[in-house]
Structure 1
């Protein structure tokens, strides 16, 4: 186990339990417990946030594209930001769907 690198430790691997390097092993066990408890729900949490972002940006663009709202430069800037974020949400949805249906 000491040869495998963890994503939170770029240079050092997990220390072997019972060695002198394993002084802070309780903290690592806590992190591993949290990660293993969250892992089954990660896909659903991520997908719900992506769908919320997708539909929220559509509503923001619809509201800010009214004639009265386009007269203010801040609203135009917010509309452009929402369009860019809509593109990010769309590519994230496509990525999530491709991840499920490909090897």
Structure 2
């Protein structure tokens, strides 16, 4: 059991960070307001979880302007995509072990 658990990534233990990565791995990128609406979280809550993923270098941030309005989009980095896939595989392996 320990060998399965060692592949879990602490960055994805939080439900919101897991949801963020799920969205970013499934989509090329996503903007802040769309993520906030989709996940039904507050600005501050989303910002802190995005910052944690950015610190791990699991996401990339692109800031631009649409007209005069700032627009921030996020994308899964290659490192983040690989870490997320490893985490999902560890979850799958854990589930398979429980069935045996």
Which category describes the TM-score, using the shorter chain as reference length? Answer: 0.3 to 0.5
TM (norm. structure 1) is 0.34
Task: Specify which structure has the higher proportion of helix.
Answer: 1
Q: TM-score, normalised by structure 2?
A: 0.34
Larger Rg: 1
The structure with the largest strand share of the pair is: 2
- Return the structure number with greater relative CO, CA threshold 8 A, min gap 6: 2
